[in-house]
Amino acid sequence: MEADIASQAVGLTSNADFSIWNLFIRADIIVKTVILLLIAASIYSWAIIIEKIKLFKKINTSSEEFEEKFWKSKSAETFYNNLPSNLEDPMALVFKGSMQAMLKNKSKANLNERMSTMLEINIEKQMNKIEKSYTFLATVGSTAPFIGLFGTVWGIMNSFQSIAISRNTSLAIVAPGIAEALFATALGLLAAIPAVVAYNKFNSDSKKYLTRLENFSKRFLSII
What is the tens place of the pLDDT at every residue in 86-126? 889 999 999 998 888 887 876 666 777 888 888 999 999 99
Q: How far is CA 79 from CA 90, 92, 114, 183, 203, in A?
A: 16, 11, 21, 58, 32
Q: Could you tell me if residue 13 is inside a domain? A: no
Q: Which is more confidently placed, 104 or 205?
A: 205
Q: Could you tell me if residue 19 is inside a domain? A: no
Q: Could you tell me if residue 16 is inside a domain? A: no
Percent of the chain clearing pLDDT 90 (strictly above): 44
Q: What is the pLDDT of residue 133?
A: 92
Q: Could you tell me if residue 109 is inside a domain? A: yes
Range(s) of the domain holding residue 94:
26-223
For the segment 165-169, the average pLDDT, to the nearest whole number, is 65
pLDDT band per the 50, 70, 90 thresholds, residue 176: low
Q: Could you tell me if residue 204 is inside a domain? A: yes
**DSSP string covering 161-181:** HHHHHHT---HHHHHHHHHHH
For the segment 67-96, the average pLDDT, to the nearest whole number, is 88
Q: How far is CA 38 from CA 41, 63, 140, 185, 222, in A?
A: 5, 37, 9, 10, 51
Nearest residue to 198 (alpha-carbon basis) of 22, 58, 41: 41
Q: What is the pLDDT of residue 126?
A: 94
Q: Which is more confidently placed, 144 or 114?
A: 144
For the segment 122-143, the average pLDDT, to the nearest whole number, is 94
Q: Which is more confidently placed, 70 or 17?
A: 70
Contact 141, 200 (CB under 8 A): no
Domain count along the chain: 1
pLDDT band per the 50, 70, 90 thresholds, residue 27: low
Q: How far is CA 55 from CA 62, 93, 159, 208, in A?
A: 10, 15, 47, 14
Q: Which is more confidently placed, 11 or 49?
A: 49
Mean pLDDT of the chain: 82
140 pLDDT higher than 90: yes
Q: Could you tell me if residue 5 is inside a domain? A: no
Range in 175-184, 186-195, 212-221 the model is least confident about: 175-184
For the segment 13-21, the average pLDDT, to the nearest whole number, is 54
